[in-house]
Amino acid sequence: MKRLLILFILPLSLIGQNIEQIFSGKNEIYFSFDYKNKQELDNLSKIISLDHKTNKYTAYAYANKIQFNNFLKRDVKYQIINNNVYYNNISKNNWDYYPTYNQYVDMMYAFADSFPQICKIHSLGTLNSGREILIINISDNVYQRENEPSFLYTSSMHGDELTGYVLMLRLIDDILNNYNSDSYITNLVNEIDIWINPLANPDGAYAGSNNNVWGATRSNANFVDLNRNYPDPQDGPHPDGNPWQDETLMFMGLSDTINFNISSNLHTGAVVANYPWDTWPQLTADDNWWRHVCNEYADTCQYYGSSNYFTGFDDGIVNGYDWYEVDGGRQDYMNYFKQCREFTLELSNDKTPDPLDLPSFWNANYHSFYNYMEQSLYGLRGIITDSITGLPLEARVEIVNHDMDSSHVYSSLPIGNYHRYIYQGSYQFTFSKNGYHSKNINASIINNNITFLDVQLVPTSFVSIKEIKTQNKTTESIDLLGRKNNKTIKNLKINLNNDGSITKKIIIE
């Protein structure tokens, strides 16, 4: 009660001090408030600077000290959005140091708080240590599934390989802050379902202390190498002899939930784009496509980076198995079991480089980060639906005389969209699903271009009747249940083509 009284009788000078505190160390604050009607909002917009994130109920705004003083006089309840954690600690220092664990968590939540319409944070789970595995989802309609490829960057599953950790935080910041101002980035956000997990092994990264990364370990808290802990196409579910770790289970759960089409897994210790496979010597069906996108990555880094950056191995790229065999790696798991195109990206020879060098790694890599993201839009894509109901289908897309070792893909629900990345050329695609007639369709693909192909699959049941209905317009309707003029047809004889179309007339008795 006493406290309340004090609040009520605060003299103006004390309110002034309060504002001094709010503005301590900054000239501008960011805040939100609920408003009742447009008139109120219009009036307030004359005092403060409304942000484009303002929606029907909640306004987001910036204010300097004088503006905010005027705003306070209107007696509107407000909430300061505390994005100073990442702005002050990291971005204002040019992203040249490793955040503490708590700074990292605050930063991730601040991203989502600051850009709620295009950015959502998910916790994949909390480890026994209490540390969380966090992932940011960025898209134009971040709360709804759309006809978009799902793209994933994840870094530092080896806890002491930390270049990608800070670069991914910076990438999130770059995307969010350039949305609606940079047309290239705006387009990526509008067209792609982007997921970024900067730190896949927080227990390894902060093994020494939550306050710094200098005691970081490669393995997780159980001393397990997470990049040997996944089911392997050749070596079975537990190639390392360990049970699946919590981190592994969280990522497997994520990849079961989100149908990632394309991804990259960031490491350090070398500088190279490592493409599948890691576990066995045979090449993937799409080896030429892999070399194309990895060369694009490496060449762009050569252009923007310091001399000799991304020039090792075969001009900055390498086939994984050619380099050294990895069993139980996440790259092969994603490619083989999840039909997601994932490659392993090695960003720096130093596992945990001098943080002052992180900005130069950013300058060398960020164009490539975006290029690879852009690749998610290319290749053959479309929506697969049921020809009768129009409902989306989860169907298989396979390339005749091409696909092998699980290189086919599936369309995914709830949209029915599929994305088949492939090197340019002409191919025959087979679209199939149990209970439907398969369809073979020829299509041509050009590198770094999109070929759209929507496909309607004809169900094996009832379909003939529907076809008759559309073909034989002069007769009375024959409905989907096989009735003519509401009388059940007793005898149907139909010859169908492979795709479900009718070759022979029917006899109705």
Report d(CA 429, CA 441) in Å as an integer: 5
Contact flag: residue 439 with Zn ion (CB under 5 A): no
Report d(CA 78, CA 31) in Å as an integer: 7
Dihedral sign of CA atoms 168, 173, 179, 185 in order: negative
Total binding residues toward Zn ion, as defined by CB under 5 A: 3
Quote the least distance from Cβ 344 to Zn ion, whole Å. Answer: 8
Quote the least distance from Cβ 226 to Zn ion, whole Å. Answer: 9
Q: CB count, 10 Å around CB of 163? A: 29
| Closer of 115 and 165 to Zn ion (Cβ) | 165
| Closer of 156 and 368 to Zn ion (Cβ) | 156
| Concatenated DSSP letters of 19-76 | HHHHTTT-S-EEEEEE-S-HHHHHHHTTTSEE-TT--SSEEEEEE-HHHHHHHHHTT-
The 10 Å CB-count burial string (b at 16+, else e) for 452-490 is ebebbbbbeeebbbbbbbeeeeeeeebeeeeebeeeebe
Please say whether the beta carbons of 201 and 227 come within 8 A.
Answer: no
Contact flag: residue 267 with Zn ion (CB under 5 A): yes
Query: Interface residues for Zn ion in 308-327 (CB under 5 A)?
Result: none
Quote the least distance from Cβ 157 to Zn ion, whole Å. Answer: 7
Q: CB count, 10 Å around CB of 1? A: 5
Quote the least distance from Cβ 400 to Zn ion, whole Å. Answer: 37
* 5-13, 35-43, 267-275, 439-447 -> range binding Zn ion (CB under 5 A): 267-275
Quote the least distance from Cβ 275 to Zn ion, whole Å. Answer: 15
Report d(CA 220, CA 192) in Å as an integer: 31
Residue 356 in tokens: 């002052």
Residue nearest to Zn ion (CB): 267
Residue 423 in tokens: 């090197």
Contact flag: residue 408 with Zn ion (CB under 5 A): no
* 92-100, 174-182, 260-268, 497-505 -> range binding Zn ion (CB under 5 A): 260-268
* 262-270, 318-326, 477-485, 491-499 -> range binding Zn ion (CB under 5 A): 262-270
Give the containing element (helix H, strand E) for 175. helix 163-178
For the chain, count helices (H), then strands (E): 16, 24
User: Tokens 């204010």 identify what position?
Assistant: 63
Please say whether the beta carbons of 154 and 266 come within 8 A.
Answer: yes
Please say whether the beta carbons of 430 and 389 come within 8 A.
Answer: no
> Residue 357 region, left (φ>0) first, then alpha (ψ -120 to 50), else beta?
alpha
| Cis-peptide, bond into residue 414, ω within 30° of zero | yes
Quote the least distance from Cβ 156 to Zn ion, whole Å. Answer: 8
* 102-110, 207-215, 264-272, 332-340 -> range binding Zn ion (CB under 5 A): 264-272
Query: Interface residues for Zn ion in 35-74 (CB under 5 A)?
Result: none
Query: Interface residues for Zn ion in 139-158 (CB under 5 A)?
Result: 158
Backbone dihedral angles phi then psi of residue 245, each to the nearest 5 degrees: -75, 160
Any catalytic annotation for residue 346?
A: yes
| Closer of 158 and 420 to Zn ion (Cβ) | 158
Query: Interface residues for Zn ion in 150-209 (CB under 5 A)?
Result: 158, 161
| Closer of 78 and 251 to Zn ion (Cβ) | 251
| Closer of 132 and 161 to Zn ion (Cβ) | 161
| Closer of 219 and 417 to Zn ion (Cβ) | 219
Catalytic hit among 342, 346, 398, 467? 346
Quote the least distance from Cβ 426 to Zn ion, whole Å. Answer: 38
| Closer of 158 and 341 to Zn ion (Cβ) | 158
| Polymer length of the chain | 509
Site string for Zn ion, 107-146 (x = CB under 5 A): ----------------------------------------
- Positions touching Zn ion (CB under 5 A) are 158, 161, 267
Active-site residues: which are they?
346
